[in-house]
A and B are shown apart, each in its own frame.
Chain A
C-alpha cells in the first residue's frame, strides 16, 4: 500500500472516530436517563413530578387527589362492568330482544361518557394544582389521550405493573 493511500485510510478512520464521538455526545446531550428509567419501571408519579416540575407540596396534593379519585374510578369501573355484563347477557339470550340490547348498549355508552367526564374533571383539578404553564401542558398532553380512547378503544397496554395497587 502506498503512503498516500495509507494516509487516506488514516484520515477516513479518524473521521469515523470523530463521527462516533460526536454522535455519542449528541445522544448524551439529548437523552433523558431519568425518564427512561421511569418508563422502564412504569413509575408514572415520579415522571409526573419531573415532567411538570412539581414541588413537594404540589406532588403531595396531586397524589392525594389521585388517591381520592381512585374510589370514584373504582365505582365507574364497577358500574360499567355490570352494564356490560347485562348487555352481554341480553345479547346471548334466546330469543334476543333487540330493543333491550340497544338500551343496554346505550347504558354502557352513557356510563362510559360519565367516566370520561369525571376523568376530565379530575385532570382539570390536577392541572389546577400545577403552575399555569405546566397545567396547560399537562392538559394538552392528557386530554387527547382521553379523547383517543373514544375513537380507538382501549390501548394495548400491559397494565399489570402500573395498576397493581389500583384495585380494579
Chain B
C-alpha cells in the first residue's frame, strides 16, 4: 500500500465530533459587537450616515436661523434708536421734557 492511499483512507475514516457549545452564538455576537466598537471614525460615520446628515442639516438650519434672528433684532433696535434720536432732534417738546 502506498503512503498516499494510507493517508486517504485515514482521512476518509476520520470523523470530528466536537462537543456542542451552547455559548457559540452568543460568543459570535459578542465578537461582532467588539469589532463594531473598535470601528474607526469612517466606519462609525458610514454606519450612521443618515442620522448624522439629518443632525447636521437641522443644526445648520436652526443655528443659521437663530443667528439671523439675533442680528435682525439688533438691527431693529439700532433702527428704533436712530429714528427716536432723529425725531427727538426735531421735536421741541422732547428738549423741554414737556411731560414734567
Contact = CB atoms under 8 A, between A and B. Distances in A.
Please indicate whether A and B come from the same complex rather than being unrelated chains.
yes
A7 B41 contact: yes
A101 interface: no
A153 B67 contact: no
B41 A162 contact: no
Contacts of A84: 96, 98
B84 A168 contact: no
A44 B96 contact: no
Contact of B52 (A11, A123, A141): A11
Contacts of B88: 155, 157, 159, 162-163
A116 B96 CA distance: 13
Dominant SS at the A interface? helix
Interface of A: 2-4, 7, 10-11, 14-15, 18-32, 35-36, 38-39, 42, 44, 47-48, 51, 66, 69, 73-74, 76-77, 80-81, 84, 108, 112, 115-116, 119, 122-123, 141-142, 145-146, 149, 152-155, 157, 159, 162-163, 166, 168
Interface of B: 36-41, 44-45, 52, 55-56, 59-72, 74-75, 78-79, 81-100
